[in-house]
Every structure is written in C-alpha cells, then in structure tokens.
Amino acid sequence: MKTCAIVGINWGDEGKGRMVDLLTEDYDIVIRYQGGGNAGHTVVNEYGKFALHLLPSGVFHPAVVNVLGNGVALDAENLWTEIEALRARSIAISPANLKISDRASLLLPWHREQDALEEARLGAKQYGSTKQGIAPFYSDKYQKKTILAGELFYPDELQEHLAELLEWKNMILTEVYGAEPCAMESLMRWVHTYGERIKPFLCDTGDFLRTAAAAEKNLLFEAQLGALRDLDYGIYPYTTSTNALAAYAPLGSGLPTVKLDEVVGVVKAYSTCVGEGPFVCELFGEEAKRLREAGGEYGAKTGRPRRVGPLDLVATRYGVQTQGATALAVTKLDVLNYLEKIPVCTQYEVDGQQTARFPFPVALGRSKPVFETFEGWNCDISRVRRWADLPAAAQRYVELIETRVGCPIRYVSVGPERDAIILR
C-alpha cells in the first residue's frame, strides 16, 4: 500500500485538480477529506474540460473508487447537480465508484442562506466568501448542530432531529438577521429529494478504507484550497473554516491512524488569491491585468477575477513547512512565458525589519514585499516535455524555488492538459 496527499501550498487554485488527475493512474482510491462545493478543481483530459466542486478528481479513471470522507461539507444538492452534469458527458458515476461517508454532515439550504446574510451584514468588511455555506456549516458542526448523512436511514429520528435544529436555526435567521424563518415542509422536501438521491452512495467509508488498506490498495488524498487558507495555520480570519493541511487527511477521510508516505505540495509559479485579506505581493494596474489574462485567473466557481502577484517565497516556504511536503509540483510555469524579467518576493519588510519568516496574521497586514529580479525565458515552453529541453532561465527559476523553500520539485507543469508535464 502507498499513501499520498496532494495539497495546496499557497492560497488555493494552484492546480491540484490537474495533479490529482495525472497521479491517479498509480492509485486505486481518491479521497476528498475536507471542504465542500466551494472548491473549483479544473481538469482537462481526453473527455474535455471540467470544473469539479465536491467530487474527487479521480472520477475520470474508470477503475478508481472515489470517496467523500467524513470531513467534507456534504452539499447533496450541488453534488447531485455535479453528478448529473458529468453523467451527461458520459462519465459513469455509481455507488461502485463513489462512496460517501455516512458520518459526513449535510450542508443544508440554511447554511448558504446564513452565509449570504452574514456577508451582507459585514458589508465593506466581508471576507469574500463564495457563499456556499461553508463557514456556517462548519461552525454548526463544531456546535454539534448538523445532521449526519447516515441519519437519512432513520427517518423518524431524523425528523425529530431536524425539527430541533430548525427551531434553533430560525431563532438565528429571524432574531439575528431579521430574515424569514425556514419552514419545516420545505426543509423536509429538500431532505427527501436530495437525501434519496445520495442514499445509495452512503456507507461506512472508514470500514471501506480499512479493508482497502488491508488489501494493499493505494490511497490518494485530495485537499481543497491551500496552506494559507487553513483554519489553524492560515491567514486567520481570512481562512476557510476547515483544515486544508495534509495532516487532516487521515481524520477527515475515515482512516485516523493512516500514515502518509508522501505529501505532494502544489505551488503555482506566481501568486493568486481569491477574497479579502493581506496579500503582500499583490500587483495592480496593467501589470496585474497582463498576468491575470495570461494565467486565466478567474474563479472556477464564481468567475471572480483573482488577485495576482509575483511568486512569494516567504509564504511558499511557510506553506511547504505546514504541509510537510515531501515533493513539489510547480504549475503554470508557461504563464510566465511573456516576461523578460521575473520579479520574485524573497523577503518581507515588517516594521522596518527584513525577514524571510512568515509573520503572524496581524503583522502580515503591515508587511511589504522585498523583490529580487531574475531573467525570464521569454519564449513558449508549453510544448516542452523534458527537463533538459527547458530553457536555462526556466530551469534556474525552478531551481530557485527548490533551493529557497527546501523541498525537491518533482513535477513542472507547462499547460493544463494531462500530458503537459515535465518529470524531474
């Protein structure tokens, strides 16, 4: 058996989906262990271009079993839409290749509603939520006020539990936000409609994965977002509401004692960030526009333009450390083809002091980037498939990242297609 987690080193959108799709060839099971439908993992392969939100990026490999672990926010409505959309494009999804943990909590319509209400209340100070209900969902889960998917098999107890939660949630919706209360009938209708659809996929994924591990199956864990958005280690409070680190993979999947043999950290060749919060390297104006266009940096889920900037080695080194990456994949190197000179942030200046250490979130807001400039390769590298064929300046750029963050770079991605990869 081998185990590997594919995780984001930066703010998310690093290209984890394309790396999972590529590496799945060597694995039997792909597991999403945290987050929800707010992800937008883009995969381009022989079937076309897809943006996956909740489904693991292993769904395109017919022999692979995909698992949604207990740590995910199970948005049954969006999941169903996603399943139907893939089926319409001839991707087979059935209980044989998709297993959902009966211990995953259900993201209910009121989570999305509360997310939107809270962002509206915050006004100019909003976090930039994708409004998929993730923050209210996880806070309810930690308050022990969610429904486990497995409760769908116990309709009487489920109805009673839902009625209790409804009473509590309606107090929040009406008294805190002045919104309309949720009606029990529409809630039951929603639960019935989507519950019946996902029931065939539900099982004890812990038991399934233990049996698979005993049979020496290879397990690939797929994370959402990146280290800088991790609830405990990221740029709080501009984080997501769950743990995006590799360390959470065992807990969120159903195999709490499994050891990860490998952690492949995905690093984008430049920086992008969705939503609010400190983003030390941010570019503005024409330069930003050029980079955003070159990289197609618009949210896969929301279509929002992403904030962009040069590679941030201070943040990247921190991401590598917190993820415990054993190897890295650098993606979107081809996007920098147009640059003659490439600026890279190698240190921050915080209150007059230069540092290569990633600061506390509040100090991050006061940090300024210190840039060094490197030669660009200034030619099209998107058809290169061998390290030796990369221009020397592109090799030096990759080696710079490797040396400064202290982790070997095993993959260099030069295009979105499955084969647009250089193995080192």
- The question of whether 28 is a catalytic residue gets the answer no
Minimum distance from CB of 48 to ligand GDP (Å)? 12
* CA-wise closest residue to 276 among 306, 243, 302, 244: 306
The active-site residue out of 41, 53, 102, 111 is 41
Residue closer to ligand GDP, measured from CB, 12 or 69: 12
Residue 291, both tokens: 């980079």
Query: Which residue, 99 or 229, has its beta carbon nearer to ligand GDP?
Result: 229
Q: In the complex with ligand GDP, which residue's Cβ is closer, 300 or 370?
A: 300
Binding to ligand GDP by residue 415, rule CB under 6 A? yes
13-52: which residues touch ligand GDP (CB under 6 A)?
13-18, 39-42, 44
Phi first, then psi: give them for residue 406, nearest 5 degrees: 70, 40
Query: Running DSSP on this structure, what letter comes out for residue 232?
Result: T
Angle, helices 109-122/184-198, rounded to nearest 10 degrees: 120
Nearer to ligand GDP, 271 or 367 (CB): 271
Span interacting with ligand GDP, options 82-90, 155-163, 194-202, 410-418, rule CB under 6 A: 410-418
Tell whether residue 111 is a contact of ligand GDP (CB under 6 A): no
Return the residue of 3, 70, 130, 331 that touches ligand GDP, per CB under 6 A. Answer: 331
- Asked if residues 11 and 274 have their Cβ atoms less than 8 Å apart, the reply is yes
Annotation marks residue 61 as catalytic: no
Q: Residue 334 interacts with ligand GDP (CB under 6 A)?
A: yes
Closer residue to ligand GDP, CB minimum distance, 41 or 317: 41
Using CA atoms of 273, 278, 280, 281 in order, give the dihedral in degrees to the nearest 10.
20
CB of 72 within 8 A of CB of 148?
A: no
Distances, alpha carbon 248 to alpha carbons 57, 257, 377, in Å: 18, 11, 38
- Bridge-partner residues for 4, per DSSP? 220, 262
CA atoms in the 13 A half-sphere facing the CB of 326 = 10
Q: If binding is defined by CB under 6 A, does position 265 make contact with ligand GDP? A: no
Active-site residue numbers? 13, 41
The residues of the shown chain that bind ligand GDP, judged by CB under 6 A, are 8, 12-18, 39-42, 44, 296, 300, 331-332, 334-335, 413-416
